Structure 1
């Protein structure tokens, strides 16, 4: 059934002219291949012909006239010509299916539900059709051409559909797009697509109009059930496209290869800066024609991204993913392994990592679109064959079999990391012009699930990058709090974690070790961090505040700059964790209940704090 609804019928209109231009077409020609899905939408709308012809038919025609054969994305979902129109219609159909099981508005009487049924359905279908309508304005650059293919300038979507004097158009993508900016622009363009009668109808019910505007702008939480419907319908359409389902293919064709889905997801995550590059703690490093990627961090991010999109058939083991990429020639092998053990140097920062290596052209076919290369070096390290690991782990910090690497005076080797951790430069000794606002300045009390701002690119290694025995996904029956403590101790002892620096999650205070919360727990396990935090609290290693809560406030101050961070405090950390720590950070001070600085004494109680 779904295959029939989402197939493309001939004749196709998405073939560009030889010079890469597309013909500006009529709505009838553009919608011909979508007749089945439009018929299904009409059946679910269940309105009389007069209503359909006045409100729905002009809406769908207006959408086709406006978006023509524009793609929905550059290299993600519905990236083919005509993808934006097809995606909008698919989301509308899925939204109408979901609408049948929703009572809108929530809590209304039976009489009110019946009276408003049709206007809420209209709000649902229009919000679904227009949810990406801002992309031509925010993300794309469309050049118009006359009948002789002479350029007549750029199309401005704010002015309405492509003008009559134009005959062809060419699509380019804005190089540095602002993430989700297109959602904010949708209401500016809605009037060019939704018929006037439809806008008047929506505006006649203030609650409907407010909810509709929120959904158009991607504020799905504010849009309530309507936002949830559009968001879920959008996800279903995206997952179907990226999984290869619902497309017209030859009988011998198979669904979209996993390798293609992985590389598409990688391009997307890099473009959105979800996998930052060329900085301390980054997920990847661009050097000449090679892109080096932190192996487990990137593979885990790819799995999480594909899972969020509802894609199936994605292996849970990272070695399977690496095999898939290698088999399709997307990785540059290290002899017969996928993993390269390398030393990454950026200024005075040096870190040994296990990396994947691929050609930069696999991600950026146009060299002009590539980011600036790394201001540093990635140096492969020779290791004994038995010590090369190409599964889910990096080289062990202690006894990993890797010989020390000769570098400059700032080198960091396996034998020197403990010394590096002991002498890490405190914030107060650095140039404070680079001090960022703390990650968790509005952090909730421990155990809550309120999302926190994304961490800096100088993140700690993820739990799986520390060692195989510390991977959060392993040993599910083991207590998450104990695994967190073991991971924390291992990272401190090996020097893989920054302490007392601008980007650090850990700061040594006279009263103990401050753990920025929930950031440190997110670094340990980005998915189940809240469980790890709750189990850690039950271990009673931390010091509670006088009011019995778990989160302390610290002031970060240097010269004229100040900010605050939320932390959990481990008193007497060297004995509690069995590690050696550097001296207290003079730039960070623990605050008492009245906002004053706590006494600089190392003891289990701060003010009337409860030693637990």
Structure 2
């Protein structure tokens, strides 16, 4: 897929010859702006999520993205908050598109419509969500910035793309509420008439998109929720959990209440650094037992008559992470698993990891834990957890601070940029299962005399409706060697989670997925190795880790892709 973009990409046209004055930025072509490696990766990931042919993808996604890049150039997304560097607006827009499309895969839209109507509108809803995400902050360049051409004339984005070198500064006293309203000045420069004509044919989608573009997210339904959630995670990822920013939260905000509650609990109620404690303080991190502390935090905030407190611990984790109050794991999760050891005592816990400065500020903090905190790292190739011993005084800090006095281009040496951003959107299996529950009853009533075929039909329908993703870092289905690779045991376990009563023939609890796997093997639709074995091994070489996957290779990929071409091979997988 990467190679296809590179083959199709035309050489950027040479910019007009202009003597660039000091302090001005050159105008770049969209091709040049999007040629950065991290942006190419985002474009590839967006294409994977759409499952469109290249001509369709170019028309519906690449062309609007090119127009967006041409308009925003190297402007930042904010002055001192998130993406506050040259090119930040473009990066933020691409991140939002990728993230919102990933989240969209867990939804059947429009909600409540007949399955055939949902199938017919799949591409339109995906595109509408992507457009809402791309244009989420576009109004900022119209009302927050003063942009001056090199000839001294002020540039306004409704005049069209910049045609001269430029410089900019942020306006003082700007009204942040104008961001959504100002989008109406610009979005027709990004979305052409044919796209608007197409979208207007879907009334439910059209209304939601118009509300998003006007900044009225409370009226935009699922589309608005997806854009907001993608924006929160992209923002938190870029800020990197910087406590100095978190502590600047308005006094009546949920973020402020969460910080105050955590400070109260740690300083007045929780035991630290001993067996039976709810937290351990190392030199560079505070480890809080996730369930215990979150239960106490919710109870404390409710006792203070604070409104808007999330009703579940999962929602609290999401709030803490989205506001950058807790550090994320390398996989982008809020919850860490670690072994605490001191002397002859040791115990494994699930933790929230905070920076101590968030709790104590400049006050004297307790002494650091004299034992060790060993982080459990998950090896996807073996499905086992390994503990990486980490002496308490040397605990590695996760996160970074992108805030700078002057905007500068993003450092491309941040090797984990794309992986950590997109992994933050990996939903828990039970969340994905809940989102698919609408089709559960229908599938479970299929004829049970051939359970292997029922499973295969479920896979085919999941791919068609985008309920099952392919060629993603956490996908259970990949294309490799010109055919389809089904990951075991992950795909079969996902099937059992969705339909727990479908494998009554299993010998014992916990073995249901093996029973389904055997029924699939009886179909004889998979390739066998030269030694007669069924399971193949794929080597995985991703941007952040290497490993192996085990699974089945189909003899005929058309079994799952009857109406369209088989997607390009996953470039990170290779069959042994």
More relative contact order, 1 or 2 (CA 8 Å, 6+ apart): 2
TM-score range, shorter chain: 0.3 to 0.5
* TM-score between the two structures when normalised by the length of structure 1: 0.40
TM-score when normalising by structure 2? 0.42
Point out the structure with max Rg over C-alpha: 1
More helix by share: 2
